[in-house]
Chain A
């Protein structure tokens, strides 16, 4: 059980981390380009609405059974929430703060790292929280396509009509979700305080 919980956490953490690595820089690039941002949001939104089992089935066709297909699905689903929240956070930075950062002659990367990202961080964390909770739920489906994590316990319990395994798996998923929710909420509170000085 512990091994399955750890595998589940690792699966979700990796998926969200990869999605954040793609979505946050994309938000930094596209937040100032409304037309391109709308197109990208529409694309990610469309991917987000694809039923998860259907997406997994397609991915298995190309990648095969196992964790890789599950990871790719997790990344695809996490992108939308992280990207949208990051864009919203970046756009909510007061214009005068952006202007002062530009007027000081800070290089673009320094404006991103030292001004824009810290000020948008509460919203970015909010996106990460939503994406993480979604991933924790979605990762259980990985058990259906040969992935690791609590999904294997749940699907095995389902196949064996073993109520105890089903409940154990479900409780594990809920516990991880509650833990993640608490951790992100706490982090968001700290970051929000810091961002407001």
Chain B
């Protein structure tokens, strides 16, 4: 896909080094994300992909470089108001067990001062969007939800207040593999409808290929490659990317064939 400026999100030589460590968790990351784009970030455990995500909502601070949202430097925003404009969902969802589904969904809109009627209407809308009947699920507590339902609620909470950016950190990591494709397809539908710029972290290469408009490959804190799934599968820029995305010849062909099916279905 063609990226048009202004970017929704831009990393400019962004680096992170955690206190007391000699090596960079992220080093000189530069990339841009277009408005409405879904960028999947793929890499091994400990590669720095979650750190990259957490820089955007300032759960992690840069030691060097800068990040811009809609052309404005991240540090220009006050932290809490910035975070209220960025949806965030993690593996295991992070729903608060003592709150009902509706109370979990209402947290950000309440902080934004929305009137009660608007919050209630939006809760119903978002639950319907993630295919959960509001009449049934509004009052449920997280413990009474299945893994897939909890994941849907997590996505709904992240999208409640019309975020300018959505950060998803392995949201389907703990979901039953049988249910995963369905949730992935649903998520794509929801994101296409909302046109929300999204960063999606995963260590599942097939998930990254299936969901991403583009893929960023992270290894040991460095950005190895970034491009469309087709470009990276057809012409991986280095051995690491080739090994990670393409695998052996059989797997490479399988992934290309799956990608072709996905491209046709879009």
Contacts and interface: CB of A to CB of B under 8 A. Distances in A.
Interface in A77-133: 96-97, 99-107, 110, 114-115, 118-119
A196 B111 contact: no
B84 A196 contact: no
A105 B99 contact: no
Interface string A181-197: 00000000000001111
Contacts of A97: 94, 96
B143 interface: yes
A118 B157 CA distance: 20
A167 B185 CA distance: 74
A103 B111 contact: no
Interface stretch (B1-9, B30-38, B75-83, B202-210): B75-83
Given A96-B90, A114-B99, A106 B59 contact: no
Given A100-B90, A103-B88, A197-B143, A118 B98 contact: yes
Given A105-B81, A106-B80, A107-B111, A100 B141 contact: no
B80 A105 contact: yes
A105 B88 CA distance: 10
B57 A103 contact: yes
A119 B99 CA distance: 10
Contacts of B141: 197
Contacts of A99: 59, 94
Given A96-B90, A105-B80, A195 B97 contact: yes
B171 interface: no
Interface residues of A, number: 20
Nearest to A191: B98
Interface string A157-195: 000000000000000000000000000000000000011
A195 B111 contact: no
B262 to A, nearest CB: 30
Interface in B37-82: 57, 59, 79-82
A97 B90 CA distance: 10
Nearest to B84: A105
Interface string B88-123: 101010101111000000011011000000000000
B236 interface: no
20 contacts: A96-B92, A97-B96, A100-B88, A100-B90, A100-B96, A102-B83, A103-B59, A103-B88, A104-B108, A104-B111, A105-B86, A105-B108, A106-B80, A107-B111, A110-B110, A119-B97, A195-B98, A196-B98, A197-B97, A197-B144
Given A104-B157, A105-B82, A114-B96, 20 more contacts: A96-B90, A96-B92, A96-B94, A99-B59, A99-B94, A100-B90, A100-B96, A101-B96, A105-B80, A106-B80, A106-B108, A106-B111, A110-B111, A118-B98, A119-B97, A195-B97, A195-B98, A196-B97, A197-B141, A197-B143
Interface of A: 96-97, 99-107, 110, 114-115, 118-119, 194-197
- Name the 7 nearest CB pairs between A and B, nearest first: A105-B83, A197-B97, A197-B143, A100-B94, A105-B84, A197-B141, A103-B88
